[in-house]
Structure 1
């Protein structure tokens, strides 16, 4: 039996004696025996151990923006490792690449005079941002401001804080309490009036921050309804609540701007990033911090407090070198403006898909992000499996939705073919 054969009445022995690697985000019994082993990638395509060539329509997990196996990034990592693999950035120590990346990111930030906290990924970044929001208010002497609000259907990683503020209920279940960190609550994903009511109910004096993705990803690719983000920003400003923008998916060009904050005219207090900073070539994430938050920690005084952030690989020199090389490629190859061109193609093709298939309930897109919500009689998981057989990768998301987030380097024709393949898979399922 090959790795891609369907599961046929799996036996207990077959499951227990399967691969040692525990599959991530999986109902294990239904994936063992069906896993695709990806051996290599090239541009917008990946190749499996059983000889399949698949168009990577999700850019891995939203991250392979410049495609796979880019030689310049491989060279940047190699050259950096031959000089210095890494050195920590605790206290008096730093390393040249982390230092340079901090300056580069501060120059790209959607607000002035940003400071940069570096770590290993999006879940790390969310953990740091939520803790820093609470630390800010404790330092200010406003000790009741502890609650972190997040949106229904939100996904913010799977560390303890990300799990606690998840708007996807299944990510918070099974731990013996509603929330690993108790001071959290959810608000509507599209109704700013409901957000204002929750703020009144909990009391602004008890709320440290609101966390939001500008465009929800795992929750179903949900762009903000007009005026929603602006209203959230206004609620934060009027109630002295910090605004944390989770740009782990949208940062570094996915919306046609360097950050979605620019696209929607939002100025957060804290902005988290990961994925697109290296196109996934090295694990790296972090937080952009506004002056309001960082300045009190920089005052020249023995009484100045310390914010205890930083893990072993914070400011990893090789990851930072890869990020710097990646940012140069984005700029040199004009890939972010290219996303604007591809956005128009995606919008047009999705509109045709919506109009031409009764099995499609709704399509949504912004930048090079798209979601196709299917009728109840169709399964997004089954359609994603069918797409594999057609040579395309999609991914089922919440709400019976298919994910579309291909690399920035695709051609117009490849994007058209991808959406058409989704339509073909829907047609074939409805004929059965």
Structure 2
């Protein structure tokens, strides 16, 4: 543990040295960083000694919980044997080979190969280039546009950031690049037209029609792919409405448009299945994974390549041309060793099954505790993903002005009470995604603390005459 004075020195040093992602510089300079020191299970402790219940599993990623010696030991052993070597020019290592075999066995049917990177962002860039290369090799070089959805989050690199549909990811960067297009998000609570979409199925048909109209407007011969998170995460925690992916698939198949499933969050058990594609009947051509692959212990991403795309690459390679894409750390042996140990834990402790079994109680804790609160408009979930939407008026679903930062205030109130939750960008939604080892008592505490935080912010808003 870092002593109090040393902890304060770290906060000061952080102000002077580090440029934080997704952080207002004025906030860092004014309030200082929350400096974490150690963690175990579902809890994490800062340098002052205060312990928090982590209701967000880091950034949706610490699936097996903190402090897993088995993963740390695997990292140590591998770093002594072969800490690093590249995977260019047909060079390989045992951990990445073993991991590839295992991932293909766990994946939905039809996946043929695995391509490694370090993050969800670079994995989505890889998926983009795979779609472009696939169509070039098929003699369709104009087929380059990729359709995403508003408020989607696919990363922040130039290509992945273009596919993301969150305004702050585009602002001040000149994004999106001209290959990216966006259609509506599947938000039945807020966006479904009341007159035409009384049911989830009719809303799904409405969204599929919008997608087809977009493809036709852009011209199908120029559209390469459609990318979607099975459950939208940062965009509001939005499970798909009933029949959504079935309706989408018909449109994509009709127009020779490939489907990319961004399972960076949902992969490896987050929704109570190894892959959400299986849960929702999705048959993707590419599956993008990261986060839960190592439970965040080391950075690693993987793109799973389906038969339709792999067969074109394989045939084209007969003339010796390489797929000229990759990273220094692609197939990193130590990261792969961490992933293998992580998968061992998930399988041995049946944690994916545990999520599926606990998902109803996870939802009930929050629905029963929060849905009668004045600020809570909606509680929605899939497995161990939940979104609590805060509204100014429950009857009309009216949102608060963004300047009030209501969700952020609730998250700060919860943090003062020793619980970490996430306020999502561009909407007043609180996201919860606890580690898979969370206990029933911890879930109850999460729900009760969030209720108390919402009550506190509600009282503040009344006092400020915003309610």
Task: Pick the TM interval, shorter chain.
Answer: over 0.9
Of residues 118, 121, 126, the one that matches 2:116 is: 118
- The alpha-carbon deviation at position 16 of structure 1 amounts to 11
Question: Residues 218-257 of structure 1 correspond to what in structure 2 (within 5 A)?
Answer: 218-257=234-273
Who is 1:427 aligned against? 455
The worse-fitting range, judged by mean Cα deviation, of 139-148 and 244-253 is 139-148
Q: What secondary structure does 2:287 align onto?
A: strand
TM-score (norm 2): 0.87
Q: Contact 1:45 / 1:56 at 8 angstroms: preserved in 2? A: yes
Who is 1:322 aligned against? 338
Q: Contact 2:12 / 2:32 at 8 angstroms: preserved in 1? A: no
Q: Does 1:188 find its partner at 2:184?
A: yes
Who is 1:42 aligned against? 40
CA–CA distance in 2 between the matches of 1:229 and 1:417? 35
The worse-fitting range, judged by mean Cα deviation, of 369-378 and 85-94 is 369-378
Who is 2:18 aligned against? 21
- The alpha-carbon deviation at position 91 of structure 1 amounts to 1.4
Task: Extract unaligned runs of 5+ from structure 1.
Answer: 6-13
Who is 2:194 aligned against? none
Q: Contact 1:4 / 1:36 at 8 angstroms: preserved in 2? A: no
CA–CA distance in 1 between the matches of 2:439 and 2:53? 12
Q: Does 1:348 find its partner at 2:348?
A: no
Q: Contact 2:287 / 2:303 at 8 angstroms: preserved in 1? A: yes
- The alpha-carbon deviation at position 19 of structure 1 amounts to 2.7
Q: Contact 2:371 / 2:378 at 8 angstroms: preserved in 1? A: no
Instruction: Please list the CA deviations of residues 106-135 of structure 1 after superposition, one character each: whole Å capped at 9, or x if unmatched.
Output: 111112352000111111100000110111
Instruction: Please list the CA deviations of residues 56-82 of structure 1 after superposition, one character each: whole Å capped at 9, or x if unmatched.
Output: 100000000111121100000001111
In structure 2, the CA distance between the partners of 1:250 and 1:165, relative to structure 1 (3 Å rule), is same
CA–CA distance in 2 between the matches of 1:404 and 1:17? 27
CA–CA distance in 2 between the matches of 1:88 and 1:104? 20
- The alpha-carbon deviation at position 31 of structure 1 amounts to 3.0
CA–CA distance in 2 between the matches of 1:4 and 1:238? 59
Q: Contact 1:4 / 1:35 at 8 angstroms: preserved in 2? A: no
TM-score (norm 1): 0.94
CA–CA distance in 1 between the matches of 2:381 and 2:5? 36
Of residues 132, 143, 146, the one that matches 1:145 is: 143
Q: Contact 1:3 / 1:34 at 8 angstroms: preserved in 2? A: no
Q: Contact 2:146 / 2:223 at 8 angstroms: preserved in 1? A: yes
Who is 1:8 aligned against? none
Q: Contact 2:134 / 2:313 at 8 angstroms: preserved in 1? A: no
Q: What secondary structure does 2:245 align onto?
A: helix
CA–CA distance in 2 between the matches of 1:409 and 1:358? 31
- The alpha-carbon deviation at position 329 of structure 1 amounts to 0.7
Task: Extract unaligned runs of 5+ from structure 2.
Answer: 187-206, 393-399, 461-467
Of residues 436, 439, 449, the one that matches 1:411 is: 439
CA–CA distance in 1 between the matches of 2:282 and 2:26? 43
Q: Does 1:276 find its partner at 2:292?
A: yes
Instruction: Please list the CA deviations of residues 148-167 of structure 1 after superposition, one character each: whole Å capped at 9, or x if unmatched.
Output: 10011100011111111111
Runs of 4+ in 1 over 3 A off after TM superposition: 1-5, 14-17, 299-302
Instruction: Please list the CA deviations of residues 366-416 of structure 1 after superposition, one character each: whole Å capped at 9, or x if unmatched.
Output: 110001111245711011001111110011103111110000001111112
Instruction: Please list the CA deviations of residues 263-318 of structure 1 after superposition, one character each: whole Å capped at 9, or x if unmatched.
Output: 00111000000000000011000100011111232238652542212211000000
Q: Does 1:388 find its partner at 2:386?
A: no
Q: What secondary structure does 2:16 align onto?
A: coil
CA–CA distance in 2 between the matches of 1:17 and 1:298? 49
- The alpha-carbon deviation at position 17 of structure 1 amounts to 9.5
CA–CA distance in 1 between the matches of 2:249 and 2:268? 21
CA–CA distance in 1 between the matches of 2:316 and 2:142? 27
Question: Residues 136-215 of structure 1 correspond to what in structure 2 (within 5 A)?
Answer: 136-175=134-173, 177-179=174-176, 181-190=177-186, 191-215=207-231
CA–CA distance in 1 between the matches of 2:81 and 2:307? 34
Who is 1:9 aligned against? none
The worse-fitting range, judged by mean Cα deviation, of 357-366 and 26-35 is 26-35
Q: Contact 1:126 / 1:157 at 8 angstroms: preserved in 2? A: yes
Q: Contact 1:3 / 1:35 at 8 angstroms: preserved in 2? A: no
